[in-house]
Structure 1
C-alpha cells in the first residue's frame, strides 16, 4: 500500500528538479555574456596564449581580440576556466573598485603548484595568499623602507664591484636577478650568508621552472623554523624582524603555529613577487638607456649631482631618492613599454554587470597593462620612449597600471622603486654601455625576459 505514495513523491521530486533545471537554463540563456570565443573544448585558447608568451607576442594576443570583439572586454577560456579579460581605463577602474565586493584572489592551478605546497588544498592556499599580503603590507611600511636604502646601496656597490667591474661584457638579466634575489633574501628572510643565498637561489630556480614540491633545506622549513625560534627566545626579540620571523610567530585561527610547509609556500611566492618583477624592470631600464643616449645623459647628470654631494663613505638616503625625479620617470616609461607583469587574475564571487554584460559567478577575470600602455587613445606616439609623459600630473588615471590598482594594488611598489633607483644610481655612475645584440627577442615567464639575457659591453667612467 505504501508503494504508490512513495512513487508519487518520487515523481513529484523528479518533476521539481527538472523544472528547476529548466528555469535555471532559461535564465542562463538570457544572460548577456561579453563577446569573444572560448576556443577548443577543455583547453580553450590556452595553447595560443602559451605560444604568444613563448614568442613574446602577448600584446598581439590581447590587441587582436580587442579589435575583433570589443575595446572594453572579451571572453575567452584560459587554463580550463571561463574568463573575461577587461580592457581599457574604464574597465580597469571598474575591475579595481569591484575587487573587494565581487572578486576574490585567484591563481591558475599551474601557478598554485609552484607558489604553494602540494600538501595545501587549493582554497587554503588561496586564503593564505591574502594573509601573506597583510604581513607584507605591515613589513613594507614607508618608515621601515627608509632604513632599507643604505643597505640596498651598500649591496649594489658590492655586487657591481665583484660581478661587473672585472669584465668587459656582462649579461644584465642573470646578474640583476642575482642582485635582486640577494636583496629579497636579506630583507624578507634576514639571510645574508653568500653561500646560503647561492644554494637557496639554485633551489628557487628549480621551483620557478615548475617543480611541484618545495626543497626541505630552505628558510621556512622545520629546521630553520626551530633555529629561528631559538634565536628569538635567546635574543629577547632583538633578531631582525622580517616576513619569515612574522610568519614563525603568527598563530592561525585555532591558536596554533602555522604549518611549516605553508610558511615555505609563503616564502616562495614572496620571493617571486619580491625579485622577479623588479629584476625584469631593472633589465629593461638598462636596455632603454643603451638605446637612447640622450636619456642616459640626463640620468647620468642627475645621478652624478647626487653622487658629488655625498661624502666618500656616505650611503644613499631617503632625501637622495627624492631627488631622482627624472630617473624615476625613465623607469616608469620603461615599465609602460615593457610591463614587468602580465596582469592579475581574480575569481567572480557574485554576478555583476559591466556595460550591459553579465560576468557570472564562478568565472575568472583578468586585466592586463597591454590594453592601455601602448594605446594611442591614452598615450600620444605610444611606441616612442618619452619619459616626459610622467611629468606634472602624468597619464590619465587607470591607463598606467604596472602595479595594478584599487585595494589590491601591489604592496611592494615602493620597495621596487627604491631597489630600482638605488641600482640605477650605482650602475649609471660607474658605467656607460652598449647592447651586444641590437635586436634581441623577448620571451615571457612570469615577467618579460630577453632571450639571450641582454649582453652588454661595459665602458667604465674615468672619473673617481
Structure 2
C-alpha cells in the first residue's frame, strides 16, 4: 500500500507558509501523492492510519459509512469537541440529531428567517468596524465565541426549568426532547452539539471570510467583478435600502464561485477520519479491519491533475462546474455531508454583499498565512474599513 511513512507528530504540525507546499513536499498533501502514491499507510497520533488522496477511494469510504466504515476521530479531537460530539455519534442517534439540526439549517428557515437576521448583523458589524481606526478582521468576525459556551449552559438551564411547551427556536426543540420521559439526547450531547454548531458558525466561517478578504485584496480583478455583480443587484431593486431577497441571493453566481474557490484553497478540514469495520479491498489496496483511514480533502483540492494551477486563486474555474463532485470535499460527503453547508454559503454571501456594496478597505499590517496544518494568520490581518463615497 504505497510506502510506509513514519513522521513525528511534531513535524506534521510544523507551520508552513501559504506557498511553502510547492517547495516542501512533506508539507503539501498534494505532493505526497507523487511521493508515496494515492493511498499509503502511516502512523498518526499513535494510530495506524491509511491516508487516501484518491478521489475514488475517498468517495467509496464516505458513501459506505455504517456498512464498511464508521466515523472515528483521534482522542485529541474528542477532548476538544466532547465525548458526545456529533462526529462520535452513530446510527439512529446521529440520524435523529441530523434531522433536528436541519430544522435550524434547512432552506425554509434560511430563506424565511436567517437571511434577514444575517444581513442585519452584517450591516451592524460593518458599520461598527468603519468607526474604528483599525480592525483585526478574523477576531472581529468571530467575536463572542469565547463566551458562547457559558451562555449556552445558562440558557439550557433556564429553558429546562421553563414550563412552556412551544418550540420557538432550535434551543426549545432540543429542550423539548430532553424533557421527554425517555429522551434520545442527553444534556451532554445537547451542549456538545451547540458547541460544534458555534465552532462551525464562528471559527470556520470567520477563517474563510478572512481569507476571502485577503484574496480579494490581492486580486483586484476578482474584486471588480464581484463588485459589479452586487452593483447590478442594487441597480435592479425598486428600493435601494430594501433587504436582500432570496431571489437576489440565488442570482449571486460569481459570488458563489468566489466562495467555492476560497473554500477550496482554505482547506479548513485537513482530514476526515473513518475506521474500517472489516477488511476492505478497493482499487488494488487492502485496508485492514480496525485500521483508521484519513480521507484527505486538501490533496484533492490542490491536485494539479484535477485543478489547473491549483495554488492560483481563480474563481472563474467554477463557472458551469458542478459543486457536488468527488473532487470538491470541503463539506464532507455521504451520510455525514455537512448539514450547515447552505447556512455557511448564505452567511458568506450576505457578508460579501454588505462589504463590497458599502465599503472599501486598506491593508494596515499582517495578512501572512500559515498552516499548522490548519489555516492561520499568526500576525493577524489588520484593515481600515471606510464607507464608500
In structure 1, C-alpha distance between the alignment counterparts of 2:184 and 2:57, rounded to whole Å? 41
Q: Structure 2 vs 1, CA of residues 54 and 267 (structure 1 numbering), >3 Å: closer, same or farther?
A: farther
**Alignment partners' CA distance in 2, 1:296 and 1:256:** 50
Task: Give yes or no for the alignment of 1:202 onto 2:168.
Answer: no
CA distance in 2, matches of 1:175, 1:248: 31
Alignment TM-score, normalising by the size of structure 1 = 0.74
Alpha-carbon RMSD across the aligned residues, in angstroms, is 2.9
Structure 1 stretch displaced more, 304-313 or 329-338: 304-313
Aligned to 2:186: 259
Specify the alignment match of 1:37 in structure 2: 4
Contact preservation (8 Å) 1:278, 1:340: no
Give 1:427's aligned residue: 355
- Kindly state the Cα deviation for residue 359 of structure 1 after the two structures are TM-superposed: 0.6
Distance 1:64 1:376, change over 3 A: closer
Higher Cα Rg, which structure: 1
Counterparts of 1:69-88 in structure 2, within 5 Å, are 69-70=36-37, 72-88=38-54
C-alpha separation between the residues in 2 aligned to 1:114 and 1:124? 12
CA contact (8 A) 1:248 1:258 kept: no
Distance change (3 Å), C-alpha of 1:80 and 1:126? farther
Correspondences of 1:189-338 after superposition (within 5 Å):
198=144, 201-203=145-147, 217-219=150-152, 221=153, 224-231=155-162, 233-234=163-164, 236-237=165-166, 239-242=167-170, 244-250=171-177, 255-256=182-183, 258-308=185-235, 309=237, 311-338=239-266
Higher relative contact order (CA 8 A, sep 6+): 2
TM-score of the pair, normalised by structure 2: 0.88
Kindly tell me: are residues 432 and 444 of structure 1, through their superposed partners in 2, closer, same or farther at Cα, counting changes over 3 Å?
farther
Tell me, which stretches of 5 or more residues in structure 1 are unaligned?
1-33, 179-197, 205-214
Which residue is 2:72 aligned to? 106
- The number of aligned residues is 381
Q: Distance in 2 between matches of 1:176 and 1:47?
A: 30
Q: What is residue 347 of structure 1 aligned with on the other side?
A: 275
Q: Secondary structure at the match of 2:4?
A: coil
Aligned to 1:171: 136
* CA displacement at 1:364 relative to structure 2: 1.0
Q: Over residues 363-403 of structure 1, what are the superposed CA-to-partner deviations in whole Å (9 max), with x where a residue is unaligned?
A: 11112222122222112222322211111135793112211
Q: Do the aligned residues in 2 keep the contact of 1:87 with 1:367 (CA within 8 Å)?
A: yes
User: 1: distance between equivalents of 2:253 and 2:137?
Assistant: 24
2: CA distance, partners of 1:299 / 1:262: 41
Specify the alignment match of 1:142 in structure 2: 107
Q: Which residue of 2 aligns with 1:193?
A: none
Deviations 1:217-264 (A, max 9, x none): 432x4x533421454x34x41x5221x323222259981474323322
Distance 1:393 1:123 in 2: 31
Distance 1:254 1:338 in 2: 44
Asked if 1 retains the 8 angstrom alpha-carbon contact of 2:70 and 2:276, the reply is: yes
CA 1:54 to 1:451, structure 2 compared with 1: closer, same or farther past 3 Å?
same
Aligned-partner SS, 1:110:
helix
